[in-house]
Amino acid sequence: MGVSGPKSPPEAAGGQLADPNAFARPPVFNAACGAPRVTASPSSDAPGFLARAETELLDLACESSRAEWVYATYITPDSESIAARATSRLISATVRLARESARFSDGDLGPVGRRKAKLLRISLPLIAPSDPAESEELTRRVATMQGTYAKGRHQPKGAAEPLSLEALSRILVESRDPTQLADVWTGWHAVGRAIRPDFVRYVELANRGAQELGFSDTGVMWRSKYDLEPAAFAREVDRLWEEVQPLYRALHAYVRRRLLAAYGPDVVPERGPIPTHLLGNMWAQSWEGIYPRIAPADASAGIDLTKLLVARGTTPVDMVRYGERFFVSLGFDPLPATFWERSMLVRPADRDVVCHASAWDIDFESDLRIKMCIEITGEDFATIHHELGHNYYQWAYAGLPFLFRDSAHDGFHEAVGDTVGLSVTPEYLVRIGLLDAAPSPEADTGLLLQRALEKVAFLPFGLVVDKWRWQVFSGAIAPDDYNPTWWTMRQQYQGIAPPSAREAAEFDAGAKYHVPANVPYMRYFLAHILQFQFHRALVRAAGVDGPLHRASIYDSKAAGEKLRAMLAMGMSQEWPDALEAVTGERRMSAAGLLEYFAPLTKWLEQENRNAPVGW
């Protein structure tokens, strides 16, 4: 299935288990995808129930994955209907089995069974109420919210027609006119107002479904996916934010000062929050789009990887082969032949497809694929390495029972792909023959600043989306306060403000896809921390000298061995065990991120020495 496909990754929870290598997969798990369907009996003993439940879910997940693949690569009303029905069957079976599993006591289940049953209960981000009318209503309202979002358009002043989000986002990157930027930002965020009534009712119904599974609200259910008590997990998230907050504040101060110089004090305050429409992204979640206007005057132009690839006549297949060779250099197997036969690597000329890059595990064993409309660019080169990170993770845990076939927690899957991306360094490009020589360290400031605008700037936004929703689900934020509190939190954590006053009747959170689509967001915050923790540990295992931001684990069997040990664990053990396998640490830490950006931190201190920091 695609990492962002129909089956949400079932995040980890549960008790301490034995070594995952002790799981000898019984014949039931070797059944081919699409074998005759077996419906789990509600009257069986606990081990038998779980075995039949996993068989049923594997079959339905395969069916859903195949239907989703066909829809994403052959978009028609028929393929959409078939994919929707297959996904609905999978979700319905998961909810039914989760409720049935509650009949068994801890003594009936044993440690492995307890973990499986808990993972089953938290494997979906949305549980519909058992009442058929309410279940249908919840499904319909979520579909309506997604449809409203997808159809969102805005016609900026002077434009010939209404523009899509993608076109509006390009204006935010390319325009230097603050009035136009404010119009584009405000125009897109109007989509939230239409979503708001459905969202209010969705919160009520989603909470009702979560309560039927024993959770006080949907936010508690989401926080129960991390092998900690929900309140303890919330404290862990706050601790991680405290570690990285000083670096973010320093970056914020530098960017504000540069924007002040570009736009003047009538647009950008010397102190206080940055106007969000000036940051080059519709949600101010990443700021790399404005790098050209805030880059240091003496910044190096850096490496034009796109130019290097084009000059060599690189093809889309060549691009993927580079990524495959990276993993083979670590000791992993080459991709299966079916990957090359079945992946979609270029945009077809005869039909519409979903071009958003994604990694797929169709049969949850070895039918791995990526779906991507590859262009010969440096950005796509890095994206391919990232997507193959997902594929190799999927392949590594394929031998486990079905309920354990996912990452240790949802942040791990994203972090693994991004960890590989951190090894796409100038030194790596030299070793694979794309670059004659790495640039001198004098070019590092620009490289690090660009990466910080992508990675560090994201952190508070990655935090706010779910911290806000947790309070919405708990009732701490009432509907009338949705928008005011959203902006209070955006200013508190991100230090940003809207281009003009926002009314309580607006619903600006709904202008971010993951909110109306019911997609938990904390995984992305965690992944932005973990990728640097993984990278530092793997670089140390590889014995690479020099600064962390210039290090690549390419061709290190020692690093590959550590990585493989973690990937193969899947969800069979709690995430601290998986973290320890690759880092030797049992606690998530931002120390790797801070070491990676240490040279930039020193540079920012000098740049900000006479400027206000904070808001």
Tens digits of residue pLDDT in 404-449: 999 999 999 999 989 999 999 999 999 999 999 988 887 799 989 9
The per-residue pLDDT for 318 is: 97
Average pLDDT score over residue span 89-116: 90
Q: How far apart are CA 164 and CA 534, in angstroms?
A: 37
Q: Domain residue spans in the chain? A: 20-123, 136-212+215-302+455-520
Q: How far apart are CA 337 and CA 334, in angstroms?
A: 9
SS3 content of the chain, % helix, strand, coil (to 5): 60, 5, 35
Q: Residue 153 is encoded by which pair of tokens? A: 């358009």
Per-residue pLDDT, averaged over 102-106, amounts to 85
The whole-number pLDDT of residue 351 equals 86
Q: How sure is the predictor about 91, in pLDDT bands with cuts at 50, 70 and 90?
A: confident
CA 14 to each of CA 117, 402, 433: distance values in angstroms, whole numbers, following the listed order: 9, 16, 46
* pLDDT of the residue at 77: 87
Using the predicted structure, report yes or no on whether residue 30 has a pLDDT greater than 90.
no
DSSP string, 569-599: HTTSS-HHHHHHHHHS-SS--SHHHHHHTHH
Phi and psi at residue 361, in whole multiples of 5°? Answer: -130, 85
The predicted model gives 448-477 an average pLDDT of 97
Tens-place pLDDT, residues 340-364: 999 999 989 888 888 888 999 999 9
Percent of the chain with pLDDT over 70: 93
Question: Which residues carry out catalysis?
Answer: 356-357, 386-387, 390, 414, 514, 524
Tens digits of per-residue pLDDT, 495-519? 999 999 999 999 999 999 999 999 9
What's the residue count for the chain? 615
Q: Do the Cβ atoms of 87 and 76 come closer than 8 Å?
A: no
Q: What is the largest CA-CA distance in the chain?
A: 72
What are the C-alpha distances in Å from 172 to residues 45, 287, 289?
Answer: 59, 11, 8
Residues 6+ apart with CB under 8 A from 44: 52
Query: β-strands 368-371, 496-497: how paired?
Result: unpaired
Which segment of 48-62, 100-114, 374-388 scores lowest on mean pLDDT? 100-114
> CA 149 to CA 187: how far, in whole Å?
13
Region 560-569 average pLDDT: 97
Question: What is the arithmetic mean of pLDDT over 577-588?
Answer: 97
pLDDT recorded at residue 145:
92
Instruction: Using a pLDDT cut of 90, give the percent of the chain over it.
Output: 78
Residue that is written with structure tokens 């805030």 in the block:
294
Q: Which residues of 506-519 are buried (b: 16+ CB within 10 A; e: fewer)?
A: bbbbbbbeebbebb
Digit-coded pLDDT (tens) for 163-212: 999 899 999 999 999 999 999 999 999 999 999 999 999 999 999 999 99
Better-scored residue on pLDDT, 115 or 301: 115
Q: Which residues of 373-382 are buried (b: 16+ CB within 10 A; e: fewer)?
A: bbbbebebbb
DSSP 369: E
Cα 525 from Cα 593, distance rounded (Å): 13
Higher pLDDT pick, 327 / 296: 327
For residue 344, give the DSSP letter. Answer: B
* Model pLDDT, residue 5: 32
Worst-scoring range by mean pLDDT, 10-14, 95-99, 434-438, 570-574? 10-14
- The answer to whether 110 and 94 are in contact (CB under 8 A) is no
In the block, which residue shows the tokens 């998230």? 237
Say what the pLDDT of residue 354 is: 81
Among left, alpha and beta (phi > 0; psi -120 to 50; other), residue 543 is left
Which residues are CB-neighbours of 427 under 8 A, at least 6 positions away?
438, 550, 551, 552
Predicted pLDDT of residue 105:
85
Burial of 584 (0-12, 13-18, 19+ CB in 10 A): exposed
User: Is the pLDDT score of 108 beyond 90?
Assistant: no
pLDDT in tens, 128-170: 899 999 988 998 899 899 889 988 999 999 899 999 998 999 9
